[in-house]
Amino acid sequence: LRLICTTTTVQKKNVGASGPEKYTEAFIKKQIEEFNLGKRHLANMMGEDPETFTQEDIDRAIAYLFPSGLFDKQARPMMKHPTEVFPEQRKIQWGEDGRPFHFLFYTGKQSYYSLMHETYERFLNVQKHQDQLIAKDLPLQKEKRNLAGSRWLTKIELEEMLLEKLSDDDYLRFIQLLQKLVALPCADIEENYIQKFSKEVPVQLQKVVIEPLQYDERGVAFSTGEGKRKTARATAVVYDNGTGKITVNGTDILHYFPVLQDREQLLFPFQFLGRIGKHDMVCTVSGGGRSAQAGAIRLASAKALRSFVTEKEVEFMRQAGLLTVDPRVKERKKPGQEGSRRKFTWKKR
């Protein structure tokens, strides 16, 4: 099962914290020089100015010079700055005499414990400030921090920041400490510090804009919608004040869809809203087969009908599955198998 609802942040593995140096600093420096040189060469090849050649231009140029049909974007040829390609490594933590630089080195998780110490220090700082304010009888609360639109860093992001592995318990303790800090009324002082560990969550999910009705020359309201299913693409124009006549690619639906099942698919959006005889529809469809075209027109008409209908009914349609694109496509045939799932006949010998 493919999890669709998680973000890429959760799925990425943290390479930086896996082990100490694999690439030396000199190596990285050489890579950076080579990259810059290559960038200038590329700019010359493309006929552009080497000085103002941005990363976007590089991406475009590479896509042009090395076109690839691979589906995975990460597998395609790319040319990026070495700091993006080679993950950050921890530098060697001890000097020539073997003595470590950091005082917490022998705890094993030096950056984690140093982070905890620093956070606790600020916590005590805030408490001291609060005591001072109470002593002076000044009001404590200034503004409430909005927690709804932000989230804390995930464990993997924190690992990336600290460049060392954490356990779940450690991460939990750090988050609890941060929450305690934020709960204090005078935490505004340490706002900058806290913001390093919080991220904005895009609250507004992609709000789909419902287009308003358009009116044609005769004064009849109409709206358009597009839909697709497998390889079929359809556009539908739904007119108001109609008799329920439907035209597909210039022919009547009785002639275009002789099978009852396809006509039932077309009927579904109208029947769901109870508007069977009230709208006329003119649609164009191409690609796919008989069923796919019917499904595509169904989606297109449902999308077009959104403009005629209240928001509540739009929500009902969405829950009924009338507005979702059907993601099922033909599965790829794999080598070593006869089809996408069927294996070759197994012969014992």
Partner 1 sequence: QLDHGCALHTAARDGLGSVSTQDVPAERPRAVFHTSESDPAKHSEQHEGRLYNIPLEEVKAVFPHGLPYRFQQQIQTFNEARVMVRRPALELLTYLKGSNLAQPAVRYVIYGERGTGKTMTLCHVVHYCSRQGWLVLHIPDAHLWVKNCKELLQSSYNKDRLDQPLQASVWLKNFKTSNERFLQEIKTQRKYMWGKRESTEEGRPLGEVVEQGLARVRSASDAVGVVLRELKQQSHRGSLRLLVAVDGVNALWGRSTLRKEDKSPVSPGELTLVHNLRKMVRNDWSGGAIVTTLSQTGSLFKPSSAHTPHELLGKEGFDALDPFVPIPVANYSPREFESCYGYYLERKWLQHEKAHTEDGKAELQFLSGSNPRQLDRLAGPL
Binding of partner 1 by 45 (CB under 8 A): no
Residue 20 or residue 277: which is nearer to partner 1 going by CB? 277
CB of 263 to partner 1, least distance (A): 5
Pick from 42, 269, 270, 303 the residue near partner 1 by CB under 8 A.
270
CB of 304 to partner 1, least distance (A): 17
Give the separation between CA 139 and CA 133, rounded to whole angstroms: 7
Instruction: Decide the pairing of beta strands 221-229 and 214-215.
Output: antiparallel
Tokens of 109: 């998780």
Binding of partner 1 by 260 (CB under 8 A): yes
CB of 251 to partner 1, least distance (A): 9
Residue 87 or residue 242: which is nearer to partner 1 going by CB? 242
Side-chain-side CA neighbours of residue 142 (13 Å): 8
Binding of partner 1 by 274 (CB under 8 A): yes
| Widest pairwise Cα distance in the chain | 92
DSSP state, residue 214? E
| Binding characters for partner 1, 220-259, by CB under 8 A (x = yes) | ------------------------x-------xxxx----
CB atoms within 10 A of CB 197: 19
Give the separation between CA 102 and CA 262, rounded to whole angstroms: 72
One-letter amino acid identity for 297?
Answer: I
CB of 252 to partner 1, least distance (A): 7
CB of 318 to partner 1, least distance (A): 22
- Please report which residue ranges of the chain form alpha helices under DSSP H: 8-11, 25-46, 55-65, 82-85, 110-136, 155-162, 168-183, 191-195, 253-256, 260-273, 290-305, 311-320
Q: How many residues bind partner 1 (CB under 8 A)?
A: 14
Pick from 33, 216, 264, 315 the residue near partner 1 by CB under 8 A.
264
Residue 118 or residue 252: which is nearer to partner 1 going by CB? 252
User: Which residues bind to partner 1, rule: CB under 8 A?
Assistant: 244, 252-255, 260, 263-264, 267, 270-271, 274, 276-277
